[in-house]
Amino acid sequence: MIDKLDGAKLKEVLSRHGFGFSKSLGQNFLSQERILNMIANDADINGEDTVLEIGPGAGTLTRVMAKRAKKVISIEIDRTLLPVLEETLDGFGVTVINNDFLKLDINKLYEEQLCPGFKLVANLPYYITTPIIMRVLESGLPFKSLTILVQREVAERMAATPGTPEYGSLTCAVQYYCTTKLQTKLPPACFFPPPKVESRVITLTRREAPPVQVKNEKLFFDLFHAAFNNRRKTYVNNLKSVFSLDRQACVDLMQKAGLDPEIRGERLSLENFARICNLMETENK
């Protein structure tokens, strides 16, 4: 069992196993105990928790979480990290599954390994941040929270408010399912190898019920995606081209929803999109 896995020890273990970092798998590892503890604090991990980790890498964050949680399950795509994890996680009681998180059967994983209120924690590979988040949010699984380390701009987009440059489809999708809390910021120097961008932890806490009632969820999602189709156009113009509608019908719809037909989509809130959605749905019946 490795007692202290600091940067020097980690490099020694990785090199002994002949490990080579893969850029395409977003492998930027963390080793400083202080930072790992900050992430575990942000995730609010305690002795009752079942934690799902995506991408344990060399297991540094995994170890810190395993010391605090009841159970940790980690999904790692890179087979060459398995012998490393076997060594670094020896004695920690962590279950490591070698799989691609985007391909595994997430419901089966839940039934076999997780429980209601599980917490997901991950230092995510930046190139697949959004698909991973959306996969979990759309799964309908009863997770408590997602605490994820992502590119700083992406974290800020998830937590954005209408009318700001960061506000977009990702904001709307995430905030439909979760409340957001921006947490620890990390500069590139905290990782090895250092990424080109700054990072930030964000916690997404699952809402018990959506913040707005919509009659057709797919239409609701299409309506906010349309808003950001071309940010410089008014919402009416985006609506017209994305849904192939008559311009006057779009203007009427906006007026019925109590909204200015000249408004740009980036200024519309979830509540506004829900109102438009429910009007369209009622009128099409």
Residues that bind ligand SAM (CB under 6 A): 25-30, 54-57, 60-61, 75-78, 100-102, 123, 125, 128
Q: How many residues does the chain have?
A: 285
50 close to 74: Cβ distance less than 8 angstroms:
no
Tell me how far, at minimum, the Cβ of 141 lies from ligand SAM, in Å: 17
The secondary structure element, H or E, covering residue 223 is: helix 217-227
Q: Which is nearer to ligand SAM, 188 or 210 (by Cβ)?
A: 188
Q: Can you state the angle between helices 169-177 and 129-139, rounded to 10 degrees? A: 30
* Residues 6+ away with beta carbon under 8 Å from 227: 169, 235, 238, 264, 265, 266, 268, 273
Residue nearest to ligand SAM (CB): 55
Question: Which sign does the torsion angle of CA 49, 81, 106, 225 carry?
Answer: positive
Tell me how far, at minimum, the Cβ of 285 lies from ligand SAM, in Å: 41
Q: Which is nearer to ligand SAM, 4 or 285 (by Cβ)?
A: 4
Tell me how far, at minimum, the Cβ of 6 lies from ligand SAM, in Å: 13
- Residue 57 zone, left/alpha/beta (φ > 0; ψ -120 to 50; rest): left
Q: Which is nearer to ligand SAM, 131 or 165 (by Cβ)?
A: 131
Tell me how far, at minimum, the Cβ of 59 lies from ligand SAM, in Å: 7
Say whether 163 sits in a helix, a strand or coil: coil
Q: Which is nearer to ligand SAM, 99 or 213 (by Cβ)?
A: 99
C-alpha separations of 238 from 16, 233, 247 in Å:
56, 6, 10
Q: Which is nearer to ligand SAM, 30 or 239 (by Cβ)?
A: 30
Task: Give the whole-angstrom CA distance, residue 64 versus residue 61.
Answer: 5
Residue 176 tokens read as 């439909």
Q: Which is nearer to ligand SAM, 49 or 76 (by Cβ)?
A: 76
Tell me how far, at minimum, the Cβ of 181 lies from ligand SAM, in Å: 20
Q: Which is nearer to ligand SAM, 57 or 261 (by Cβ)?
A: 57
Tokens 């009007």 -> residue = 279
Tell me how far, at minimum, the Cβ of 258 lies from ligand SAM, in Å: 44
Tell me how far, at minimum, the Cβ of 30 lies from ligand SAM, in Å: 4
